Amino acid sequence: MCQYSAQDGFVGDWHLVHYGALAAGGAGAVLTEAIAVVPEGRISPGDIGIWKDEHVEHLARVVRFVKQQGAVAGTQLAHAGFKASTSRPWEGQGVHVGAEAGGWRPIYSSTNKGFTPESAQPEALTTEGIARVVKAFADGARRSLDAGFELVEIHGAHGYLVSQFLSPRINTRTDQYGGSFENRTRIVREIVEAIRKVWPERLPLWLRLSCSDWTEGGWTVEDSVALAKQVKPLGVDLMDCSSGGVVAGAKIPVGPGYQTQFAEQVRREAGILTGAVGMITSPEQAQHILNSGQADVVLLARELLRDPHWPLRAAHVLKQEIAWPKQYERAKW
């Protein structure tokens, strides 16, 4: 784990590398999770960043290590919007961090209302501000390429900035970025197009979505299908299908594979590759999702925190031969 100063925007205690993907055929990737494209877009003061060129070499060290282990390294480009400047989860979920504790203001959003009435209240982005955010995502993709990453994912889920624009429950704008479906999704299309100008066609671009707000009048899986149809021709290769986190207090029926239904529906109706994520814990469960065509990729996050050796265990359970780290090979037999 790498550690640098918060001023450098690269602090290795949160959101570095604990997000993995397993595709059919056994291909593996490791993503950074949320990596901020601007300093005020960090979820917490402890997040890593990719908003300046000085970050590249620090990240390249991580990439080189991941590649040495035989995996693909990717970044998850993000802007937290009104969920920015909050504490790290183990210090209080969603608690605003003020300037006296290393936090910041303003917190930009698609609206001037916070996640909850008790949250720090944001300032709605101007159209000029939106253009700067779009450019920041593209700059983050360029720096990702310079660092050697081979996969970029746009974080458009969980109540962070992009999903604040998508959700009709959150986006209250009356300009070209609010109101209709076409307007609310405009920022996604602009980010995708801007990234594809600097991100090579040969390398995959993913989009992470909250496919349902789990609340009446919110974003739906049908909306997700419609957006997938729009962004696929623009260069998005895979939809990472998550849900929730956008509307406070939404009742989410969490259970094993509870979001796989979204990956299956988007895959079938939009004709695009999808990733399934959420409460996927066993090798047999992951293999079933791939074998049954519910998704093309299975993504793991918390399960890898619980069991960093999950890929080795899964290979053993599924009787697949994979390379072990040389330091561990003596335990293989």
Residues forming the active site: 160
Q: What type of residue sits at position 271?
A: G
Q: Name the token pair of 238.
A: 């895979």
Q: How far is CA 214 from the centre of its chain?
A: 19
Q: How far is CA 83 from the centre of its chain?
A: 14
8 Å CB contact between 17 and 32: yes
The size of the chain, in residues, is 333
List CB contacts of 322: < 8 A, sequence separation 6 or more.
Answer: 26, 311, 312, 315
8 Å CB contact between 16 and 48: yes
**Local structure of 323: helix, strand or coil:** coil
> What is the DSSP code string of 108-128?
EESSSS-SSTTSPP-EEPPHH
8 Å CB contact between 279 and 255: yes
Note the helical H segments in the chain. 55-68, 127-147, 161-166, 181-184, 186-196, 221-231, 260-270, 283-291, 302-306, 310-317
